[in-house]
Amino acid sequence: MRWSEFPKWGKWAADWAAQYHAGLRDKPVRAQTKPGEVLAALPAAPPDQAQPIKDIIADFERIVVPGITHWQHPRFFAYFPSNAAPAAVLADNLVTAMAPQCMLWQTSPAATEMETRMMDWLRQSLGLPAEFQGVIQDSASSATLAAVLVMRERALNWDGNANGLPGQKTLRIYCSNEVHTSVDRAIWIAGIGQSNLIRIPTQGPLRAMDPAALEAQISADIQEGYLPVGVIACTGGTGTGACDDIAATCAIAQKYGLYSHVDAAWAGSAMICPEYRTLWAGIEAADSVVFNPHKWLGTQFDLSAHFVKSPEALTRTLAIQPEYLKTHGADGIINYSEWSVPLGRRFRALKLWFLIRAYGLDGLRQMIRNHVTWSQALAEKLRQTKDFEIVTEPVLSLFTFRVTPQGADADAATLELLTAINDDGRIYLTQTRTGGKLVIRFQAGQFDCTEDDITLAYDVITETAKTLKDA
């Protein structure tokens, strides 16, 4: 294929994308293929000769599309959303066509300077103080890893990268059971070790880390010869939306000289609405914060916003400058590759620029407020429905529920209901465990979701439960 042919197939792709999104409500949300079905449809060996694009496209529609779970489906209520607003998709198409490698200012000045401006736009949108500076990471996992590495280096007087951990005191990091498993992976990769990620008990309706227990654990660890280095708190935890008391947690971290990182990967997008900021009250005291615009805000994966108070600590931990990566003849520039674990960087800021301008903060706020309102209304309807129990109260647009039919095992009945709902295909939900109970998670957050989609979710849930009960 040549660039001379691209307009023809590019138009086809644009038309296909519009038709795909227009027809999503008619498709099952979750892929209906069986394990190995797609693999079996793909030739075992690559072709030696070029094949016509029209044949490749035909195979794309025949093989790939049926095996895709439709994350852009308006009734995707599982996990968290991974949105793709059309304006952001358009921006990413332009980036893909240019294909710049944006590791240094000099390798694409517009990418670097737009990232600086867009991260400040986001900072203002969230109400974060001006002392925070931002960088775009690929995911919250990378941002959390960067934060853990900074915790390690800071506590070891910047000696860990040079000489490793042998001979050092055993490092300890603190969090609750509600944090994402990316925290565990960061601990592994940083060489700190799973046994030194200390889980603090939670309390209250928001399942927050118990501040008294946190301080007692830190104090005890110091007495026993460990070296506490950081605390990782969450706002809107993945399982049930748990929210730590950020003000209390950060105060304890500051008291003991620990670095504090807040994972708000999902819920952070909602902080563009001032009324929801009570969920992370005290955020100004944190050392770093991460949230994912590629979840609820509308940009497609991958784009994670990582804010830090001290870029110097981050770059001191991660920056390497061989001669071929130096920018000569320019002062005061930023090379964002020094703020990230990967050297290579995509031009992710462009889709933020398109998104915020195309919908405006007011439009994005209204979308989020609608999702919260509709989801909380669904929780109330289920609460009033016989044989249903709301297990964890709504946090923004996320809540959990289960069925409690008389004379039946509630966990087994809940799992049977979840399986039947997902096999039905009209909506997609996932499960978790909380307080020893198997529960079903519900969250609304897809960019094109409507109130009618939430109403249909209630119908599917209750009708399926009745069918199972009557069987």
Which structure tokens are listed for 79? 């996990």
Separation CA 86–CA 31 (nearest Å): 23
User: Where in the chain do CATH 3.40.640.10 domains reside?
Assistant: 101-346
With a cut of 70, say whether residue 405 has pLDDT above it: yes
Secondary structure letter of residue 464 according to DSSP = H
Find out whether 146 and 314 touch, Cβ atoms under 8 Å.
Answer: yes
Give the DSSP per-residue string, 17-71. HHHHHHTGGGS-SS--PPTTHHHHHS-SS--SS---HHHHHHHIIIIIGGG---T
Q: How confident is the model at residue 440 (pLDDT cuts 50, 70, 90)?
A: very high
**What is 1-30+69-83+363-471's CATH number?**
3.90.1150.170
| pLDDT tens string 76-94 | 999 998 999 999 999 999 9
Beta bridge partners of residue 209, listed in sequence order: 202
User: Where in the chain do CATH 3.90.1150.170 domains reside?
Assistant: 1-30+69-83+363-471
**Helices then strands, each counted (H, E), the chain:** 14, 13
With a cut of 50, say whether residue 369 has pLDDT above it: yes
Separation CA 178–CA 199 (nearest Å): 9
| pLDDT tens string 16-42 | 999 999 999 999 999 989 999 999 999
Can you say whether the dihedral through the CA atoms of 272, 276, 280, 282 is positive or negative?
positive
3-class SS string, 237-286: CCCCCCECCHHHHHHHHHHCCCEEEEECCCHHHHHHCHHHHHHHCCHHHC
Separation CA 409–CA 423 (nearest Å): 21
With a cut of 70, say whether residue 324 has pLDDT above it: no
Tell me the average pLDDT across 433-459: 95
The class level of CATH for 101-346 reads: alpha beta
Separation CA 277–CA 289 (nearest Å): 14
Task: Look at residue 329 in the predicted model and tell me its pLDDT.
Answer: 45
